[in-house]
Structure 1
């Protein structure tokens, strides 16, 4: 055991002749000349001189406002005061009519949205993004009326159907 320890310690002797010769060789090589960094010229300081002008992010004080056309009382308007129902958060193209149930003379439509949720709706319920309202539920078909803005402050009624064979994204209008 002692012999093994002695052999290991002798391997760690101070024989660094190879290292000394390598260092001397590196020192004799000519050093590489490194070019100095280019000298940067300073730019003149910029002084912001528009402090007294209006900020582009503020409204004009006396600017004419865009005219809004008031709604004509004689044209149809959607009922914006009603409480939103769950099917009003989905577009008609994201719904599929998958069945209907009739109980005690009351018809219910089963509507599945493209996120996989199933909803029950009846005549008078709202659906879609344009104030759609179910007007009839028949075997295999829902009839509804939507209110579409015409750009003049009025709304146009459009009757459409959602058929049972339609898939989400393929509804008839």
Structure 2
């Protein structure tokens, strides 16, 4: 029992000493050191002048007029992509439509099956 109390007392004393050391460290440092640092930085900025090199001169490029307007445009879609060939398996969109094609598939229902002479 005594050992636990002593251990608790030691931890409390250690935390108290750390707190006191922290307070003393914070109180010893003053704003004067920051003022000295700011003064030093200002003096350094006054004594040094930044030197920036001028931008390099670029040579002027003469203008060029494209005179191939009579030639075909190499970037037109007809020259980039070939025209698709008609697909033989695709239904003909120009054929006349049947009557039942005017209805939606989900609207149609099977109502009955007709059998005539044993044939479906």
TM-score (norm 2): 0.32
TM-score (norm 1): 0.24
Q: Which has the higher contact order (CA 8 A, sep 6+)?
A: 1
Of structures 1 and 2, the larger Rg is shown by 2
Larger strand proportion of the pair: 1
